[in-house]
Structure 1
Amino acid sequence: MATLRSSGKKGTWRYLIVLWISGCLLLAAIAAVGVWARMHFATVSFCMLIAIVLISLLDSFISSALFSTAGALLLNYFFTPPEYSFEISEASDIFPLAAFLVSSVAVTSLVRRGRESERRLREQARLLDLSHDAIFVRDNRDVITYWNHAAEALYGWRQSEALGKDASELLNTVFPISREELQLILLSDGHWEGELRHTNRRGDQVIVSSRWTLQRDENGEPVGTLESNNDITERLRAEDRLRRIQAQYLDEVQKLSRTGSFGWEVKTGEVFWSAQAFEIFEYDLNEAPTLAMVRNRLHPDDVAVFEQMLKDANAGQIANFDVELRLSFPGDRSKQLHIVGRVGPNGSPDSRQFIGAVMDVTTARQADERLRRAMTELSRANRASALGELGASIAHEVGQPLSAISTNAEACRMWLMRDPPYFDEVREGVEQIIAAGSRAGAIVQRIRRLIKGMPSEHTAIDINDVIEEVVGIVRRDIERQRGKFRLILAPGLPLVVGDRVQLQQVIINLVLNGIQAMSTTTANKEITVVSQRDAGGNVVVSVRDSGPGIAAENLPRLFDPFFTTRSSGMGMGLAICTSILKVHGGRLVAENNDDGQGATFRFVLPPMNDSKAA
């Protein structure tokens, strides 16, 4: 296999044949010269040994063995008696021939092994030169014995300049620990890793991530150290720049949020503040922060709270705290602080460390106080507004029956002045006055119950009956406008649950709104009241007028309190209707009629069973 590998490396078998023939001829020539010059056996054997060693360098062990055998045969043939014969007459001649054969094989093997070792070392050195890491080898005296190309590029010294130099002196090495401690670790573990600081040829400092590997001989004794260094200078500078940028951003964020950070070593009493913490307590950055500096700034009423917090922290009774304290400054200035903290990650029973944040919440607390005062003022305004709405509601609700009483009383006086008096009309007018008075009294009772917070009286009601009662109350108003009522009441409607007076007020308001809307028209004036049942079983009441309708821009605000389009209106009627229907579980909607004549107000009430369920 060795011959084949060799022949493959040199070319072909032809090379081997030429080598073997040439080698044998050279040995024969040496023998011929020895015979001609009558040289001794030892001299000729020495010359042959040298030739065999030189020729064997050109090929493998097989060639060495071949040449050694050929040389032994030539020595036997020409220089041992009987000469010119391969016979050995004396046994003593066997020893020198065997010695020559063994010596030549051994010497050529050793030479070849040395060459192979040298080749492997050159190959390893070539591989080390291809590495991007700076690699060099130091002996036990710290003298450099190997220096690769990456080391030349990193440090600036060429290999010829670095070899033989003391590594620590050449690179001005700064160790993270003493050199003696580092050497003990290397001898104990066989390797070491860490960061070193070197100085290159230009005088610039280079920071490297270094890996040391101890080299030992066959007996295990240290013979040197392989050191591999990776330049991390730029990476560390980038990390340092990033840390500075992060610190700068953190400082700006703390300024914007008025939040400082702190640390407190309970055992030693040491305190650490961020720049913003110094700003909050208004101390100079050059001063070393202490707990006494905090006490000096505290409001006298908050000192006890602070001292108790310190006492609990020293006793290990709290793992975190959340407290608000006040600071006092000259000129009657003060600050409100919100301080939070917790035991740090390195906290232990023997060494407790608190970390936390101190926030200047003065502006926030002042804003809270302003908001509280504003809420108080708003509440007072709301109460006044509520009283105004209540007064407007009372005036609107009671105004209708009082107006009816006044109108009917005036009519009765006119009928009594007739000759003869119209007693039947007077009787009807008095009855309407009594009904209006009763309705006004009921309204007052309802408002009194509302003010006292008492629930209204809800009973089962036939909505058609309520509609007919309302028509009787407001008939004179529509007749005064020379208009007419039209009722379309569906029979057999389910009963609804509610306050009879309140539902009367809803229908009266809707009918009177329709009558007032028609006062500006000269066409046929008609109020149509329809009751029916929808697909869901609810009771629906619609009040349709033939007035001008509702302007599109007014539809969204139609049910807002105090919104009105009439100069004499109060804007409470529809708002009251909406409130009443909401209490009864109903809803009110308004829309213009499809034919462009007037508008329709429609409310929906759930039937009695649904009302009870609700």
Structure 2
Amino acid sequence: MMALADITRDPLFIRLQPWTVFMFYAGTAFAITTHRIFDARQIVLVGLQKLILVVAVACAAYVFDWALRTFLPEPFGFIATTALVLGLAVTLNGWLDRMFHFYPEATAARQAAFAAAQGESHVNKLESAFVAVLKGWGHSETALVMSGVKGPLQGGGLDLPDDGAVMRAMLLLGWATPERLARERLTPDRQALQEFLDANGLGVLVMVEGPSLKALIGVGIAASRRPFTYPQVNQLQELASIIENALERAHFSVKAQRAEQLATVGLLGASLAHEIRNPLVSIKAFVQLLPNHYQDPVFRDKFFHLIGDEVMRIDRLTEQLLDLASPRVYSAQLIELNTVLNSTLELVVAKATDKQIQFITDFQAKPDRVHTDASAAKQVLLNLCFNAIQALEARGGERWVRLSTRNLPNQVEVTVEDSGPGIAPDIRPRLFQPFQSTKSSGFGLGLAICSDILTGLNATITVDPAVPGRGATFRITFPCQA
């Protein structure tokens, strides 16, 4: 418009210049908000990050220059200021990238993925953490993490059959972008994959397969709307390997917890059968006497009360057994710890009595409300109690297990102590690692699983140092608040 005004000298073109500028910016705003040429939110975040960086570096340069000129010659002050400002700019830029969850460098994204893998053990929480890392790496508003073990892949609210068209295409390609699919000959499977990418707004999708787990890792269209390059695909494949390893470990952890849960139920089976048999014998005896004493009101009254009490006892025991056997995802909530301890004792006291082992209780914690999962706490306490019973079985003399509680600042501590032989010094440092056992049978997973369960609930488990003549002492601390 300016060129036309210079050539023709027509004032009309001069008057049209503001309108042309206005139409240009209006069209740009329309494209940003409707046609997704740019991601407005991501552009604003990037601009804000750079603005903070520029302002901070400028202020630092002014302060450094003013301070250094007071005792250094001007050339040396300038060099020192430049060096300090450059170092500050590099450090601040990395800090801002982490604060805004931007990972422009593959190394930073890998470090963030490793940190997420080490910080979480639950599958759902891991997926959420990895989605945040992928969004930052790709400068995108969307990311997808789906995984499955010998079945459909799930994640992000989606369910994808492992033998469907999308998975068949990904098994063949390994990775896919809309640009790659557009260049290659479309087959029915690749057409389904293209529709999957479009429906979920993905700019790149990679598949990684482990020994037992398959995972699909996708990142949405970048803020710049540029297609993902092959080096970026390689970076995403590296991130996908980290994600797959962490998810596979989490799935194995869930399976191990389930196996330990069922093993505990198996140990309880014999003792609970004995506990259930006793009230049944009482009920049977009263039923046999009922025809001859039905007219006796004292007998009838005693009979009715006994039946109710004994049936409630059987119902309570079976309910606890079923609760222990049912698969669950542990979630913390406020519970009364003494109630959990008493129900745990009810399950193990029969086995202890059969082995002539005395259980001693000393519950001093008042109040005893803690923020944890009742089933998880019971699972851990049962494991420790059974370990103590097994350690005392072959031991002569006085045999006892003591459960005690006490209040700590914002915590309640549970102590499980026994009069057994204690723990060998060579095993103690790695006691809570997998495949470490003081028994001749079993795989040594019990205490490792207990530690994982408690860590997920912000609780801790420790063992006291060895003391000559004393058995093992385990301490569990439960938080009183979330």
The bucket for the TM-score relative to the shorter chain is 0.3 to 0.5
Bigger radius of gyration, 1 or 2?
1
TM-score under structure 1 normalisation? 0.34
Select the structure with the greater relative contact order (CA < 8 A; seq sep ≥ 6): 2
TM-score under structure 2 normalisation? 0.42
Higher normalized strand content (fraction of residues): 1
Higher normalized helix content (fraction of residues): 2
